[in-house]
Amino acid sequence: MDCPGKEGTAGRKRNLTLLRNKLYMGQRRRTEPVVESTTTAGDHGNLRRSQSDRTEYSQKLQEKMAPQAVSSTPATPLQEDEEEVEEVRRRMMARRVKIIAELLQTEKDYISDLDLCIQEVIQPLRNMQIARFDVDGLFSNVELVHQLSTKLLSLLEEATTDVEPPMQIIGEVFLQIKGPLEDTYKIYCYHHDDAHTMLEYYEKDEELKQHLRDCVQSLK
């Protein structure tokens, strides 16, 4: 005789097992389509966005390249660079010509001042033959400076007269006369302080001071 209690227990176990399996399968049916559809939709979305991005990038690239291709065909940038270089060269040459002209004029003015000093001051004082007046000590080697400056001006004029500006080699002139310039002005600078002290002493002597004043007055 079967035991109703045991049969009821076994039946309940089978029912629970069937119910658990149904729940599991139902859960799979609910979740799998959702996951699959989501993934598929995402892939298609990414694919569509990727294609759209490539198309937009290609269009923008063509737009950027089109004007460059047009502007690069003529050689205008190179021509503009050459014109700019030529303009800079012209300005530099014009400035060089101006500097050389000012150098020549300055040297001429300097020689003119030395001429006046020698003719109107040094020579008259020497002619006075004042025993206590050391003319050579006061003016040092100014006459030698005058001679050297005259030589320098002659060389500069020779290097620039009837010579095209690009061919005017001024540096060679100073290299040629460099040694005499150093020797002459070295002497003048060496005696400068002594000459200044001597002048201050002579200005305390009214007679000598008057002679100096008369000579300076003749320069005006």
For residue range 45-61, what is the model confidence (pLDDT) as tens digits?
444 445 555 566 556 55
Task: Return the axis-axis angle of helices 142-160 and 170-190, rounded to nearest 10°.
Answer: 170
In 3-state terms, what secondary structure has residue 218? coil
pLDDT reported for residue 154: 96
Q: Quick one: DSSP state of residue 122? A: I
Picking from 127, 108, 125, the residue whose alpha carbon sits closest to that of residue 117 is: 125
Q: How far apart are CA 156 and CA 107, in angstroms?
A: 10
Q: How far apart are CA 79 and CA 74, in angstroms?
A: 10
Report pTM.
0.60
Question: Who contacts 191 (Cβ-Cβ below 8 Å, separation ≥6)?
Answer: 137, 140, 141
pLDDT exceeds 50 at position 43: no
Q: Which H or E run includes 68?
A: helix 4-72
Which residue would you say has higher pLDDT here, 55 or 43? 55
Q: How far apart are CA 137 and CA 192, in angstroms?
A: 10
Return the half-sphere exposure (C-beta side, CA atoms, 13 A cut-off) of residue 89.
8
In 3-state terms, what secondary structure has residue 43? helix
* 39-48, 103-112, 147-156: range with lowest mean pLDDT: 39-48
Instruction: Give CA torsion, residues 167, 171, 172, 177, to 10 deg.
Output: 140
Picking from 141, 137, 132, 136, the residue whose alpha carbon sits closest to that of residue 209 is: 132
Identify whether the C-beta of residue 181 lies closer than 8 Å to the C-beta of residue 167. Answer: no
pLDDT reported for residue 155: 95
Q: Tell me the mean pLDDT in the region 204-211.
A: 88
